[in-house]
Amino acid sequence: FQSLSVAQRYLLLAGAGLACLAAGPLLERLLKFLINRRQSRGRCRRQFDCIFFSGGSLLPPCQAASQALAAAASSSNDPAVFCPDPSDCRLSHSSQHPYFQLIRQLASAVRSLDLCMYTLSSPDLSALLLALSQRKPRPVRVRVICDSEQLHSLGSAIAKLRSAGLPIRADSTSYFMHHKFCVIDRSLVLTGSLNWTGQGTLGNWENVVALDDVKVVEAFRREFERLWQEFSPASRSAR
């Protein structure tokens, strides 16, 4: 730098200044990206949740309240536990009841809900799926994968969902399609031991874990899509 003339020094400094001005917006965008990524990771950690069903030791949830909570999904209202006559109702209205927690998570779906469930017979949860698929003005795309033996089993809600127009697919083997998970809006996964049955939600010791970690959600999303293609009528006819 010392060997340069005054004019050359001015030109070099001017060029460096212009380079800094040009790089400024890029550096600003990079900084915003890093900040947003860090905040996003923080939100993922805070949104981790576990729901435990306690083997019938809890007071059963109010049926009217659970129906009202599920019905709220059809109108995009904020789900709240509600009972028409709570003074005479001896059932639970606690917002922390695991059944109400599960319904609120499901009712949060905005764009899509992909359910991979061994068996489904809960009237409230099947009604919730229908309500989401018929939501106005923007229906939620609901798809269901289940075990083939559960399609027409006693008490199963699968046939009702299919007759209502929901796309349903099942395996065609003697083995069990034993998954129990749900992908909501491609950004949240619910998984655990729970089958969507009255026994599972109101009697058994069960668990549901809610995760929004990007890698975990993507892994479950890919598994759902893999099974959706594998269990398609076209794939079966090609075998």
- Annotated catalytic residue: which of 180, 212, 213, 215? 180
C-beta of residue 104 within 8 angstroms of C-beta of residue 77: no
- Annotated catalytic residue: which of 49, 93, 160, 185? 185
Judge whether 185 counts as a catalytic residue. Answer: yes
Residue 54 in 3-state DSSP? strand
**DSSP secondary-structure letter at 152?**
S
Q: Is 134 exposed, middle or buried (0-12, 13-18, 19+ CB in 10 A)?
A: middle
Q: How far is CA 9 from CA 17, 21, 22, 38, in A?
A: 12, 18, 20, 41
- Annotated catalytic residue: which of 93, 178, 179, 215? 178
According to DSSP, the residues that pair with 115 across neighbouring strands are 144, 182
Distance from C-alpha of 219 to C-alpha of 209, rounded to nearest angstrom: 15
Judge whether 178 counts as a catalytic residue. Answer: yes
* Other CB atoms within 10 A of residue 93 CB: 17
* Residues tagged active-site: 178, 180, 185
